[in-house]
Amino acid sequence: MDWEAITVEETASLTRTPCECCGKTTLQADGDLHHGNVWISCYSVRWSNCSDAPPPLLTVYVGDGSDGARADQRWAIRSYWRSEGLGLDDWSAEERAAITLFTLLDREDVLDTPFATEYWSMIDAIIMKDSRLEALRA
């Protein structure tokens, strides 16, 4: 799947909340991804301009998005976005205990799999096409 064939639907305006470490504004952009007329994923990108903040975090949710779906029918994968590029991120034990709606995939679950190419195409589409990320692309 080529990233250029993926349509990005910005589902809401930027969400602004206070940063947990300093009180400055944390921003979140949410959206859906489509390939043709087919929904393939939803996503969120979260970042802060705080100097102590972690790099922007892109989370992609794939699988069955219906209300009745089980965690083993949908997955969450995330990547951090640093100036030198993107990298897959692992989930902490605390996150694994708290998040039960999705199966959380780590680097080892994605790298060197047929899904990896599709995942990176989705990430490229988000970065290149979501207009709310303009400042992060600069």
Question: Mean per-residue pLDDT for 7-27?
Answer: 87
Of all residues in the chain, the percent with pLDDT exceeding 90 is 75
pLDDT of residue 96: 94
Give tens-digit pLDDT for 52-102: 778 999 999 999 988 899 999 999 999 999 988 999 999 999 999 999 999
Per-residue tokens: 65: 């998005």
C-beta separation of 38 from 66 below 8 A? no
Q: pTM for this structure?
A: 0.91
pLDDT of residue 97: 95
pLDDT of residue 32: 97
In the structure, what pLDDT confidence band is assigned to residue 108 with cuts at 50, 70 and 90? very high
pLDDT of residue 12: 86
pLDDT of residue 103: 96
